[in-house]
Amino acid sequence: MESLYAITTGILTACGLFLTLRGRTFPVVVGLTLLSYAVNLFLFSMGGLTTGGAAIIDGQTHFADPLPQALVLTAIVIGFAMTAFVVILAMRARSEMGNDHVDGRKQEEPHR
């Protein structure tokens, strides 16, 4: 399971980074969202992967670390708020500058 989990997180991060480096605001926003998903998955695994264990230490040997779950919750809330903000900002930038390029540049005429 560990390798599957690691590969998933890695692919999400790679896609997120690739999209973040695009020139239009929409792919950038999607990239940031993917990146925050990858980070949340990563945080979730930082206490070690446990299946079928309760998220509390009650004297038994088999338990899942509860702290990363609390951290992921915080990170999800913050990431969600940030995504909402960035969407609004991107729309505002689109209306103020007349195009959706991150640098506010007009698209160059394509060569024919």
Partner 1 sequence: MMQHLIVLPVVLPLLVGLFLLRSRHGTMRTHRVVGVTATALLVVVAMVMVARAADGEVTYYALGGWQPPFGIVLVLDRLSALMVLLTAVLALGAVVFACAGDDERGSNFHGLFQLQLMGINGAFLTGDIFNLFVFFEVLLLASYALLIHGGGKSRIQSAVHYVVLNLVGSSLFLISVGVLYGATGTLNMADMAVRLSDLPADREGLVTAGALMLLVVFSLKSALLPLYFWLPRAYAAAPAPVAALFAIMTKVGIYAILRVYSLVFGEQAGSLAALEQPWVWWLSLATMVVAGIGVLAARDLRLLVAYLIVVSVGTLLAGIGMGSPAATAALLYYLVHTTLVTGGLFLLAEMIGLQRGKAATRLVKGRPMHHGNWLAGLFFIGAVAVAGLPPLSGAIGKALLLNAAETSQQPWLWPILLATGLAALIALSRAGSTLFWRSHEGEVAGVSLSRSRWLGVGWLLGASPLLVILAGPVSDYTCATAEQLADPDIMVRAVLSNAGESP
Packed helices 2-20 and 25-44: angle between N→C axes, nearest 10 degrees: 160
Using the minimum distance from each CB to partner 1, give the nearer residue, 15 or 93: 93
Q: How far is the CB of 111 from partner 1 (least distance, A)?
A: 26
CA 6 to chain centre: 15
Read off the tokens for 102: 């991150």
Question: Is the Cβ–Cβ distance between 78 and 91 less than 8 Å?
Answer: no
Phi, psi of 26, rounded to the nearest 5 degrees: -65, -55
Tell me, residue by residue from 18 to 47, as one string, x for binding to partner 1 by CB under 8 A and - for no binding. --x----x--x---x--xx-xx--xx--xx
73 counts as binding partner 1 under rule CB under 8 A: no
Using the minimum distance from each CB to partner 1, give the nearer residue, 54 or 85: 85
64 counts as binding partner 1 under rule CB under 8 A: no
Using the minimum distance from each CB to partner 1, give the nearer residue, 60 or 95: 95
